[in-house]
Amino acid sequence: MALRNASKIWKPSSSAVIWLVFVLGLVGLVIGLGVHSSYSRCGGVREKWKGVEKALADLRKAGRLESLDSAKVADETYRKTWYRKYDEISSVASVLRHRSDDFQRSAAGTFNIERCALTPKAGTWEHSSMSRVGTDGVLFSIFAAIGTRTRIAVEVDSASGHGLYMSLASLTSFLSWDVYMYFQTWSGYAIGNELLNNAASASRRAQSFSTPPKVNVSEVGTAFSNFNKVLKGSLVAGEIDLLCLFTETDDYEIWKRIDGVAPRVVLVTYQEYWGPDEAVIRASSGKPRPRQDSRDTKRRRLFVGASLPALNKLANSKRYRLVYCLSNTPIAAFVLDDPTTQILKTLPMAHCFRKKAVDAEWMKDMAAQWDEAQAFEWIDV
């Protein structure tokens, strides 16, 4: 009896059902509008970026392309294998470019920068297909986010110290880039000339390249001291998409004095043992104090250049901002601070050291290098 009475008591009327349906519909409408509003504020940016990340993951699976030097060129079997590997990497890069274009169309809309801008975790963009360091993935990611304009890239490489960087080699897997490589040493020029031109040859073989990349490789010796003149001699001027400064010694001075070109993205080396707070550059005299005279030349290259805070100050004075630091190599990426780059968040300098600072061995090595660096003259900037 009780159960029968209860069922009668709780049986909803038709008006109650209508009211309940109305309330649930209203709630669903509010939620839907909220989701749509959230999506609209970002213009689908985060959803589209997942496609870029997928292409980057595919690029990592494709692996790294070894240098094709003159000895290997003579081996026809190896050369064919190299070309196949290059075709695989370039095909992935082509997919990445299409997804980047799709992302760019999405990012071109109006959205909330604070909510939607991209902040990569340390190491997530790094991959090497052809470069000696992980800059390939970093460059692909940055240009996927901000797009390209001139497709002109310049790299200055000392080919000593850490060795060849070859960051621009990966750009040969994209359409119609003009690549200018300047080496300080003849040995660096010989290696770089072979790799870049063989990569460019592989690009010309690919049917998908209607406009193959142009490769210009030069050995400039001590002409780095007047790099504006070097660029003028190469007819490189105005806006360019990329400038890589990898001399390890004169990067700060070259960037400070350069006025013939206006890069949208700058990659530059720094001395990480100075940490995120000390803004110093090595004195231009280059002479060590007496107790350092016996040190070997290669070791001395650890005590040249500039700290990250010094480069960041210089960057800010030229309207650039920090957006990425490589996790295993002291290279920082800066972008021109204009509306086209706002999709990338500014990276605090402390983030470049946060992950490394928990490594006791790394901290011990940096402390030793900092002590050794005091034997040289450094200038606060």
Say which DSSP state 204 is in. H
Residue 320 pLDDT level (bands cut at 50, 70, 90): very high
pLDDT at 268: 95
DSSP H helices in 225-350: 227-233, 251-257, 297-300, 308-317
Instruction: Please say if the pLDDT value at position 159 is more than 80.
Output: no
- CB distance 184 to 245 below 8 Å: no
pLDDT at 313: 97
Range 18-46 average pLDDT = 57
Mean pLDDT of the chain: 77
Q: For tokens 């806006």, what's the residue? A: 239
pLDDT at 214: 74
Instruction: Please say if the pLDDT value at position 131 is more than 90.
Output: no
State the Cα torsion 247-343-341-250 to the nearest 10°: -10
Residue 40 pLDDT level (bands cut at 50, 70, 90): very low
Instruction: Please say if the pLDDT value at position 36 is more than 50.
Output: no
Higher pLDDT, 263 or 110: 263
Range 100-107 average pLDDT = 80
In terms of Cα–Cα distance, which of 180, 181, 189, 135 is closest to 160?
A: 189
Residue 370 pLDDT level (bands cut at 50, 70, 90): very high
For 94, the enclosing helix (H) or strand (E) is: helix 76-107
Of all residues in the chain, what percent carry a pLDDT higher than 90? Answer: 22
Instruction: Please say if the pLDDT value at position 73 is more than 60.
Output: yes
- CB distance 314 to 255 below 8 Å: yes
Higher pLDDT, 240 or 24: 240
Q: Cα(366)–Cα(370) distance, rounded to whole angstroms?
A: 6
Lowest mean pLDDT among 133-142, 304-313, 333-342: 133-142
Q: Cα(318)–Cα(168) distance, rounded to whole angstroms?
A: 23
Largest CA distance in the chain: 106
pTM over 0.85: no
Of 110-114, 267-271, 290-294, highest mean pLDDT: 267-271
Q: Cα(345)–Cα(365) distance, rounded to whole angstroms?
A: 31
